[in-house]
């Protein structure tokens, strides 16, 4: 039976109609940057109606950029969606518009991890962590073949795990969380702070006054920019430390490492994280790190698998 999956991102909204793991139809819309939840819900409804005008899909899954209160479809906050600074009952709002079938809402990183486990890099591996680095770092956790949410929906908030007592390596901002080293927002703050201390970098020239997007970091890396190399090295070390801690705590067989920043930096960065992870391995037990396989539609496809994953 066909199901619909929607990946709600800060810049774009992607909807897919999936039958037996195969995408039958696809629609992409810009996520509105003003108008708050109403405009975003409209956008989702239009994308869903486009790929399934007769409402024949048996269920709808939605991946959203923030933690979801388990079992409620409520998103308490979504820092990447303007105006979403209060509880938004995404599930209920969509049921009003698209009702008469199950609608399941989950975190975007959870659905991306689910897609990798069922159809991508993690097929056949029952205990894995999907780590996705972008503005911040998030993770999805599969244990015994089941996507885990946890009683309060916190599961996978690896960006808020601690890799340092405090940011001793640079005296820059942050309190020692993984996000402080490997989240793009903090990496930009740190670069800016280091420039204020008198250091040189091509990063801000490349950005031409804009934000330091993933592409900019990749270009500065290719240009052998020393400050960029140092921040990326810390990012790799922090990712390795957080992943190593996760492995000894819950015994993972595989780590899928992706996200906008990692995809742009490419395989050499992933290899660097894997080398640092090996240095930190417990009793020499190796845990491989691999790239996601699902590409741009991974999140939406994972969302389409959500209903089944709760079944």
Residues near a copy of itself (CB under 8 A) are 126-127, 139, 141, 143, 148-158, 160-165, 168-169, 175-176, 237-238, 241-242, 244-253, 280, 282, 285
Contacts of 287 (CB under 8 A, 6+ apart): 243, 247, 252, 253, 254, 255, 277, 281
Supply the minimum distance, in Å, between the C-beta of residue 192 and a copy of itself: 22
Per DSSP, the three-state class of 12 is: strand
Supply the minimum distance, in Å, between the C-beta of residue 247 and a copy of itself: 7
Closer Cβ to a copy of itself, 22 or 250, answer by number = 250
Closer Cβ to a copy of itself, 81 or 98, answer by number = 81
Supply the minimum distance, in Å, between the C-beta of residue 165 and a copy of itself: 5
Supply the minimum distance, in Å, between the C-beta of residue 36 and a copy of itself: 21
Cα–Cα dist 13/144, whole Å: 31
Closer Cβ to a copy of itself, 139 or 206, answer by number = 139
The H or E element spanning position 248 is helix 226-250
Cα–Cα dist 311/308, whole Å: 5
Q: Tokens for 267?
A: 């395989």
Residue 231 CB-density burial (10 A; 0-12 exposed, 13-18 middle, 19+ buried): buried
Dihedral sign of CA atoms 181, 187, 192, 194 in order? positive
Supply the minimum distance, in Å, between the C-beta of residue 88 and a copy of itself: 16
Closer Cβ to a copy of itself, 21 or 145, answer by number = 145
Q: Tokens for 162?
A: 């601690």
Closer Cβ to a copy of itself, 133 or 206, answer by number = 133
């Amino acid at each position: 039976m066909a199901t619909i999956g929607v990946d709600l991102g800060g810049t774009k909204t992607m909807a897919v109609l999936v039958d037996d793991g195969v995408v039958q139809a696809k629609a992409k819309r810009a996520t509105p940057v003003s108008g708050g939840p109403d405009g975003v819900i409209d956008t989702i409804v239009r994308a869903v109606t486009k790929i399934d005008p007769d409402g024949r899909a048996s269920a709808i899954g939605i991946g959203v950029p923030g933690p979801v209160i388990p079992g409620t479809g409520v998103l308490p906050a979504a820092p990447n969606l303007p105006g979403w600074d209060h509880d938004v009952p995404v599930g209920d709002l969509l049921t009003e518009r698209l009702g008469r079938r199950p609608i399941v809402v989950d975190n975007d990183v959870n659905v991306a991890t689910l897609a990798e486990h069922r159809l991508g890099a993690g097929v056949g591996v029952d205990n894995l962590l999907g780590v996705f680095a972008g503005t911040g770092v998030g993770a999805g956790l599969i244990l015994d073949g089941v996507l885990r949410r946890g009683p309060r929906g916190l599961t996978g908030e690896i960006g808020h795990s601690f890799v340092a007592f405090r940011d001793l390596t640079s005296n820059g901002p942050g309190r020692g969380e993984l996000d402080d080293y490997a989240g793009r927002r903090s990496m930009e703050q740190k670069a800016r702070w280091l420039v204020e201390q008198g250091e040189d970098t091509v990063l801000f020239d490349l950005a031409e006054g804009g934000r330091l997007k993933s592409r900019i970091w990749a270009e500065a890396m290719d240009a052998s920019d020393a400050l960029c190399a140092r921040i990326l090295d810390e990012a790799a070390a922090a990712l390795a430390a957080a992943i190593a801690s996760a492995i000894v705590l819950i015994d993972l067989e595989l780590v899928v490492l992706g996200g906008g920043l990692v995809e742009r930096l490419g395989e050499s960065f992933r290899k660097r994280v894997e080398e640092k992870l090996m240095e930190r391995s417990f009793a020499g037990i190796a845990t491989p790190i691999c790239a996601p396989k699902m590409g741009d539609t991974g999140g939406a496809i994972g969302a389409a698998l959500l209903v089944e994953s709760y079944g």
